[in-house]
Amino acid sequence: MGQKDQLRVEQEELIEARKVRDDLARQIRALGREDVLEARARELGMVRPGETPYAVRGTGKPAPPPTVATDEGTGVWGFITGLID
């Protein structure tokens, strides 16, 4: 790899590192705001002193319905045909 290629690669890495730095700086500034800090704390399950925490269950996606077997040798019809054979 030539020096020009290496310089280009390192410049691209520097640009990416600056983007990460700027993003982290924005996050730090946002966490200085009361509303953002409270929202983040609640995402982590934290509550204010004196509040009663509640755990809510069953809010996920429902399980898919059971699949119906299409093979004649299974299920009720498979049982019945097994008796006849």
In a domain, 34, yes or no: yes
- In a domain, residue 67? The reply is no
Please report, rounded to a whole number, the percentage of residues in the chain having pLDDT higher than 90.
36
55 inside domain? no
Q: What is the mean pLDDT of the chain?
A: 82
Asked if residue 36 belongs to a domain, the reply is: yes
Domain limits for position 36 = 1-48
9 found inside a domain: yes
Task: For helices 3-31 and 34-43, give the axis angle rounded to 10 degrees.
Answer: 100
Amino acid letter for position 35? D
CB 12 within 8 A of CB 6: no
pLDDT higher than 90, residue 74: no
Tokens matching residue 33: 């705001």
What is the reported pTM?
0.46
In a domain, 69, yes or no: no
- Is residue 25 a part of any domain in this protein? yes
In a domain? residue 53:
no
User: What is the pLDDT at residue 15?
Assistant: 97
Structural domains counted in the chain: 1
